A and B are shown apart, each in its own frame.
Chain A
């Protein structure tokens, strides 16, 4: 009883902050992550060396065969290029528009709160639902774009029958949906800036582009790298919009690696090949993220 209120005695007995027992707290989380993420990831690597069809009890070890198939598979080539276009294209568009919007909506403009809310709104709605809504822009008979074409005296266009056009439309839709996320990251960056720096620049007569280039932009580097990494990961694993708008078609022309994995597994019953592509997709995203983080860090140092 007396010991209990004696801190010295207690500290020598058990030291809650340093005892390993505290690690028990992360067991539930680790368990869930191991079963539903880590194990599937490792098991996927193992499956990628087999010819498993996804349901039969037997599978044979085929070595690197699935990885070699990727080089010969024209569809995979298309799908890989599409994935890079989705990733890099969306990232570029989102940075330009997102930063522009953040700069405009950071000024004392009337109604800026409601405008920010509207710009951000699509990012909250499921990509599937936004995809179905965007469909009404491009629909053949009643779509907004073809209404415009007709009123200009031009013929109606089937928007989703040309691969290049379809890929471009998917990039634009994905960019518009998540441009609000970039805007908010840049707004947070702008609002977190050291005001003394900006005031100093004002006193020195730095205005407009020069102030932006030399003061604002370097201070926005952390926001820039966050936004780029988030957008790039999102674009590289793009799945929902493609599935809803084109289903990967016409042919395989608008698939991303993600949608192609789904097709290969469930429609073509080639679980081994699908697993191998899953491994490749993960490696691409991991490398891109790591390189980008390092590169952007260095860029931040220099400016």
Chain B
């Protein structure tokens, strides 16, 4: 229907200005500008990585431009300093543990929560769904004061479980949304078949529904793990102990102390960026598909 209408519209519009084209020259200039724009964007996106690599190659005595790396005498010391003094590897380890725990919890709680929300469409459950969705709009800093106070009172400051639970809460709404949309598309006849066989609700979910959730789980894992790995706004305040800090706050506080030593700061940023860049190189297709799926709300 709509395609027929658009067809007609396009047809009527195409009659009024036909033959007025810009000619070949105009088109060629357009193409050249397009490629120029594309090239400029590629350079702009790679530039910070190039500059960081270049800065990391120089000792603090080398004041030359970060545009040109020091290839003849790379200052590997910068990387060892970032690891020994900056504790960057410790922070990477902390982030790995927290990211894995949060992601697993988000998948389990998210998938479980989505099952009744997708299957039992009562007014109450619709309200619960809407409430959870609206939590996606809560900015982390809006709840900083009460959350920090809660953590102080429960002994959750500077602990792993504290930041795990906070990041789980931050990432659950989107996960529940994605799982609910996916389960809604799974035919209810599958559940009914399980019921006829006398399986309990729990077993139906575990045995019949859960195995079908692999594709959406891939999306949830990507969105959550990237989100937790990069978390800064709350972990910056909730974990101040340098030995327990996550990677983003650690790089930020170490970088702030290295204003006179650009190379060490650059090295710490590069080490921190490396794990996610490597994972991205190998799983690039899943990442892009996952982000697109996650955005289609």
Contacts and interface: CB of A to CB of B under 8 A. Distances in A.
A240 B144 contact: no
A126 B64 CA distance: 27
A247 B252 CA distance: 11
Given A141-B63, A194-B3, A262 B144 contact: yes
B257 interface: no
Given A10-B196, A30-B113, A33-B169, A206 B145 contact: no
B195 A16 contact: yes
Interface in B127-155: 128, 132, 134-135, 137-150
Contact of B145 (A147, A181, A278): A278
Interface residues of A, number: 118
Nearest to B246: A126
Contact of A258 (B132, B141, B170): B141
A279 interface: yes
B55 A136 contact: yes
B64 A142 contact: yes
Interface in B11-41: 11, 13-14, 17-18, 21-22, 34, 37-38, 41
Nearest to A272: B145
Contacts of A4: 198
Contacts of A97: 41
Contacts of B143: 37, 40-41, 44, 278
Given A44-B145, A133-B51, A142-B63, A116 B288 contact: yes
Interface string A191-206: 0001011001100111
B182 interface: no
B292 A32 contact: no
B146 to A, nearest CB: 4
B205 A176 contact: no
A185 to B, nearest CB: 5
A237 B141 contact: yes
Contacts of A124: 226, 276-277, 280, 287
Interface stretch (B73-81, B213-221, B261-269): B261-269
Given A38-B135, A136-B52, A181-B291, A121 B128 contact: no
Interface string A172-194: 00001001110011011000001
Nearest to A119: B45
A240 B252 CA distance: 9
Given A26-B113, A29-B110, A144-B47, A278 B280 contact: no
B48 A134 contact: yes
A281 B51 contact: no
A125 B230 contact: yes
B172 interface: yes
B71 interface: no
A129 B296 contact: no
A85 B280 CA distance: 31
Interface in A84-136: 97, 100-101, 104-105, 109, 115-130, 132-136
A186 B48 CA distance: 25
A18 interface: yes
B249 interface: yes
B204 interface: yes
A197 B144 contact: no
A274 B277 CA distance: 36
Interface in B198-229: 198, 200-201, 204-205, 226, 229
Contacts of B9: 214
B219 to A, nearest CB: 13
Contact of A19 (B11, B66, B201): B201
A25 B112 contact: yes
B198 A5 contact: yes
27 contacts: A16-B200, A16-B201, A17-B120, A22-B115, A22-B116, A25-B205, A29-B109, A33-B135, A39-B150, A40-B150, A44-B143, A44-B145, A47-B146, A118-B46, A124-B277, A126-B247, A128-B248, A181-B291, A184-B288, A188-B295, A206-B14, A207-B21, A237-B139, A239-B140, A262-B144, A262-B237, A278-B145
Given A128-B252, A132-B255, A139-B66, 19 more contacts: A17-B195, A26-B117, A28-B108, A28-B113, A36-B165, A41-B138, A100-B37, A121-B280, A129-B273, A136-B55, A197-B3, A237-B141, A258-B139, A258-B141, A261-B142, A271-B149, A278-B141, A282-B139, A285-B139
Q: What 5 A-B pairs come out closest when comparing CB atoms? A: A36-B169, A133-B48, A29-B113, A136-B51, A126-B230
